[in-house]
Amino acid sequence: MEVWRSKSFLVVAGLGVLLGGTTLAHDSPSLPRHTETVEEASGQAYGGYIGDRNFVISRGNGLHEFYFTRAIYSSWSRGYGRRGRGSWATDWPKADVQFLWGLKRLTNIDAYDFDNPVTLDNPDLRRYPFLYMLEVGAMQLTPPEVEGLRDYLTAGGFLFVDDFWGTYEWQVFEHEIYKVLPSHEIVELPLDHPLFSNFYVIEEILQVPNVGNGRSGYGTWEQDGYVPHVRAIFDDDGRLLVLINWNTDLGDAWEWAEDPWYPLTYSNFAYQMAVNAIIYAMSH
């Protein structure tokens, strides 16, 4: 399996815990300061949608085996989320709910019908084995968020990352995820990995464009993100902790799957990737 490492950030050579516990150190990129914290996102900025930062699962009756859980995280960007909230809220809640409609039609998973955004420092995060995080090129995690996400992943959680593009956004994400998992490598996930064949057989990684590019046919890329990648982080025992979809926008394909002008090829692929990831996460 090919190991991927950003040379611009790597300042201590080595293979981390795989070769005796060496921790990789990374320089800090020059990032804007926080303009939104978790407290702002889950307090007044919520506009009453959830209100209490520790309030989870507010709708529907009974418990379900799967909740499409979206990570609320601190960022320096307001993004394109609901009512101008931070980048965590991009495409929310439509993408989440519309994906769930498809998931329930395509599989027999007992899924909760609604979106389920949860802060990274919420102790109830461990209740949900699958966590969706997007627009991570604007992410700036606070110490409680770093600790919360690390605890979640080491306890058995699975993180699915989506919708960030180009060199700069990769560097931001890499810097932030190495706060969480400092001794773990990021690797390319080969197409012969079981995740690509556990439900749908995926033989090619498509670049899924945002809705504007998809409708116009102008191009599928953003910034300098011309080639899509699926990368991964494993723990020392080979368990897949983080699945990273870079230079692609699966969330827009779920959100606009009903749009007759958005190409069906991209929506199909976006659903297939996420369904496979969920089944893999739920069965491992």
- CA-nearest of 81, 80, 106 to 93 is 81
What mean pLDDT is reported for the chain? Answer: 79
Quote the CA–CA distance of 61 and 110 in Å, as a whole number: 13
Q: What percent of the chain has pLDDT over 70?
A: 71
Decide: helix, strand or coil at residue 71.
strand
Q: What is the pLDDT of residues 75-116, one digit of tens each?
A: 976 544 444 468 899 989 999 999 999 999 999 999 999 999
DSSP 73-116: --BS--TTBGGG--GGGBTTTHHHHHHHHHHHHHS---B-SS-E
Q: Please determine, for residue 46, whether its predicted confidence score (pLDDT) is greater than 60.
A: no
pTM: predicted TM-score of the whole model, two decimal places? 0.77
Query: Burial level of 229, CB count in 10 A (0-12/13-18/19+)?
Result: middle
Q: Please determine, for residue 122, whether its predicted confidence score (pLDDT) is greater than 60.
A: yes
Q: Please determine, for residue 23, whether its predicted confidence score (pLDDT) is greater than 80.
A: no
Q: What is the mean pLDDT of residues 51-58?
A: 43
Query: Which superfamily, per CATH, for 30-54+63-283?
Result: Domain of unknown function DUF4159 (3.40.50.12140)
